[in-house]
Every structure is written in C-alpha cells, then in structure tokens.
Structure 1
Amino acid sequence: MTGRNSYLAFGGAYHGDTIGSLSIGAGGFGTDIFDPLRFPVMRAPGFDTPNAIDVAIEMIVENCASLAAVVIEPLVQGAAGMEMLPAEEFAKLGIACRDNDVLLICDEVATGFGRTGTLFASEQCGLSPDLLVIGKGITGGYLAMAATVANERVYSAFLGDDLGPRTFYHGHSYSGNALAAAVALKHLELIYEWDVLANVNERSDQLRALLDAKIAERPEVKAIRLQGLMCGVELAAPREGLRWGRKVCASAVAQGVLLRPLGDVIVLMPMLTTTADEVERIVNVLDAAITEGTRT
C-alpha cells in the first residue's frame, strides 16, 4: 500500500467521534470545532443522491494510485436521517474496490446484528468487506462492546515474528472484557434460538403497512424510509425553525413511546424482539404526535 494514504467516504456519513472517525465522517452535529484536526478525505455524494455509488466507483478508478480504502455504511446511513439506497446498488462498489486493489471497510455499528433484516446489511448488499466494524448490537445493548473483523488478506498482513516489523501494536485499556464477551456470546445464541431475524422481517412488513395506511399520506409527512427495523419519517415543515421533529418526539414521549428526532426526521428503531401490539402502538402514537406537534 505504499503511496496509498487517503480514504474515500460518503456525504452524510457518520462513523464516530474520534479524530479519525470525525475525518471520514461528513461533519455536522457540532463537529466544526474539530475541523482543524480532521484530515482530508475524498467525498462521494450521500445516499440521498441516487447515483452515489456510481460516482464513488468513478472516484475509485480515477484515484486508485493514492486510495487506501473506501469506508461505507452499507444500505442505511442512520445519522444522515435514515438515508437509504437499494441493496442491489452496492455490489458493484465491492467489485470496483477489488479490481483496483482498494480495501473496503463496512461500518455496521448501526446496521449489524439483525437491524436491517439480515445479520449484517453487507449480506443484502452483496459486499464482502476487508474490514467489518461492529458494535452496539453485538451485546444487544446490555454492555459496551465493539470489534473489528478482518478478512484473511488483512489478517495475514500482520503475521510475522513477535515484536517484528509486522506486529500490530495498537490496543486499548478495555480490550477483551470478559463480561462483555460473555454477554455478546449469549446474545448471538439468542438471535438464533429465538429466530430474531424472522421477527424483524415480520414486524418490518407490519410497520410498513401501518405507516402506509396511517402516516404516508399525511400532508405533514414528506417521505418514509424503512429497512428492517430502521425507519425514518421525514416531516415536511413549511419553513425552517419550526422544530417539528423535536415537538413530535416530545409529544410521543409524553404518550409513552420513546422516539428521537434527527432534525425533522423522526427515527423509529423498535427493539428487534418487538411485538405486533407494540408496533401498532408506536404508529398510533406517532400519528397522534404528528397532529399535536405540527400545530402552528
């Protein structure tokens, strides 16, 4: 990888809050203060641009001599307001990375462990990343844990003599926490024992039907984006500054349903074991909250 010292990331991307993560992220959320510390990256359009993947592929081909890796949130950009692209759009990105000897890094901290309807969103996208970034759902949210999964190519690059030139020295104080690892292992067992993925897809279908019936045609709603149990309901505020998102979510919380806004996008992310009754309650409360929260 000599001479390859740059990354390609996407508009709207969010990958975390360390300096490196902020650099490949697209900014926002009060990150401007850190701009002097962020390193430059190549930036393809976000998922709100239909041809974002095609543009990224053109950038890979044109810049492969200096490009080390492409970093992507497969299928769903959560922090961007649940922006999504069709799963079939992504496989060609993986092919372009392989053809040009560029590493592919899939950030599945938000999408992993069943949230999109498969264990990993990469599966639906036809992507086989060189590095897979996982966290959050690995323990079902009960304990903090994250991991980076490497394929054979990357793993082998660090094999060699002990304390030799290939040794990977980087680590941190809380690596390998035994309690978190035990919780993660049990969580993985329960995903299969309880057939959680089947429930995610059934509840997603139910959620889509209810949103289509009760929410989609409301004049206050601009768009609904749903994949598995990741959903964004984008409101159509008539002008800036009305803070509809915060008002609608506050109304929902007052009615016993915890929703959060990303600007004027209402985020619906029920637990993966949610029931049919709970999904119906969520949509009914959202319907009432939109009425209350958008009064002008």
Structure 2
Amino acid sequence: MKALLFIETDGEKAIGGSLELISTVKSLDAEGIAIVVGKRSVADTVAAFGIPVIFTDAAEDCDTLTEVLSQIIKEENPDIVLLANTALTKDIAPRVAGRMCLGCVSDVIGMSKADGKVIYTRPAYGGTILEHIEVEGTAVVTVRSGSFPKPEASSNAGVTEKKMEIPDSAVKAKIVDTVKEISEAVNLEEAQVIVSGGRGMGSAENFKLVEELAQVLGGVVGATRPPIEDGWISRAHQVGQSGKIVAPKLYIACGISGATQHTSGMSGSDYIVAINKDEEAPIFEIADVGIVGNVTEILPAMIEEMKNAKEKAK
C-alpha cells in the first residue's frame, strides 16, 4: 500500500497536523512519500522523520497546489492521499478528488485495515455518531489534527527535488494583496494544555479564573460559544464545531455542560478534567476525572494548589 502525504506549511515550518500524517502512514504499515512545496528546509526536516520527500519550489496558492498534487498522483499512483484537515486542504482535497475521479473523505479521526482495505472513521451529525467509510480505489483523505501522535525522529530518508511545469491555465485566481486582520494570536491547535470556560462561569469576572489557571499551568484559554457571545473573551478562543478542533494532552472544562457542538471539537484530548455543579452534565460522559461542585469555589483552590506545587518543584 502506497500513501502520498501533503505536508502543509505556515511559510516557515510544517504545521503539526501535517507531521502527524507520518504516524498515520506507519499505523497502516504503508509505504509513504511526503510532498513538500515551497521551502527546502521544511523538506529536510520532514525527511529526518524517516519518510522520503518529493520537494518542489512551486507557489503555495490553492490552484497551484491542486495542480502539483494532481501531477504527482498521476506519476506515483498511490492508494491513499493524506492531508491535514485545514482551511487550505478543505479547498484542495475535493478539487484533486474531482479532477482525478477519486473518492474523498474529510475530517477523519481514525483508520484501520480489514481484509486488506482501509476503513476511515469520521464524526457525523455534529459528532453525535461515528461513521465508518470504505472507498473503492484511491482515496483523498483529510485527517483531523490530534488524531495521531507526532512522529519521532528517525534515519534521514532523503529529499528528491522535482521541477514542475504549472500551466498558466491551471491558475484561475491570483492573490494580489493580503490584508491580515489585527486580532489576538491564539494557537489552540498546537497547545498541550487547554483550560476552557463555559456559560457556567457566570460572569466575565469569574471567567478570569479560567485565564489564571491556564497561566499557572502554562496552557491556553479556550471557551464555548456563550462566553464569546457575552463578550467575556474573543472568538479566537472558541473550541468546538464552529471554532477550533483541539487535541491537547490535558483539557480542563470549567462550567461546560458538554453540548455536542463543543465536545466534537475536544473529545480527542488525551486527558479530560470536567468541573460542573450538575452531576448529570453530558461532559462527565467523556471526562477522565469529573468534579461535581461550584466551579467558582473549586478553581481558586486548584490555582492555589498548582502554585504551591510549582514552588516546591523549584
């Protein structure tokens, strides 16, 4: 079985979700080839994880990347084409699949092999169920960040540079200017610790306890939709179906009931701690540790204990 991996970059380095694709390939015991576009140093970094790399210095716009992937798929004839599930690849994946007449599965969170075929698992109906999909022939698959572990360094598998001719007709749109919105930079997707607050925090003043605990733990602040709509924190912190999909090592849910719209965005976390005064709250169904009580009384105690533990560790 052969798999092509598209390694997306942020202009300087490979994004975490793309690197996880290397572990995906290893879990399937497949032969993998990574595709890196744009920066040679990124290709060298990826090759150090033990996977051969095809590198081209083409532009990184959506139309060009679609053409690059289409050409390499024709040459390599893979069984699977893997991409991290990002805003960019949500455009690229269906384009490539449509152009090449291939199957397409998005937002995959698990893969397994049965009778020589790959079964793709993805959430459906807002994350209320999981569906298992089998594709005849080659499949273009986007994988949710955090579904597989980061790869470990291995022997360098080498980089092959490839010159590619991109016909002018392939580029339908050209970026003439980019205007970046001035907003708070929040990297929820790559965070190892996230402390999130929900409606149960009660007020903007109480929500500061969430921010304080995140600071003490060296983590990032997350939130459900109600605190954002009430103006307690900016939309950049939203976790869930209409926000960011996260998978940290530790996720602490404070005053969050556990609606599907939120849990579908954080259920991949390694360890979940939930604090809620309602012992019947759905969040406890997915939590590793549940604390029933008033979150505004529990958080100050947690913050104090964490500060003491840090002092003792010095």
Q: Same fold (TM over 0.5)?
A: no
> Which structure has the bigger radius of gyration?
2
Higher relative contact order (CA 8 A, sep 6+): 2
Which of the five TM-score ranges fits, normalised by the shorter chain?
0.3 to 0.5
More helix by share: 1
TM-score relative to the length of structure 1: 0.34
TM-score relative to the length of structure 2: 0.32
More strand by share: 2
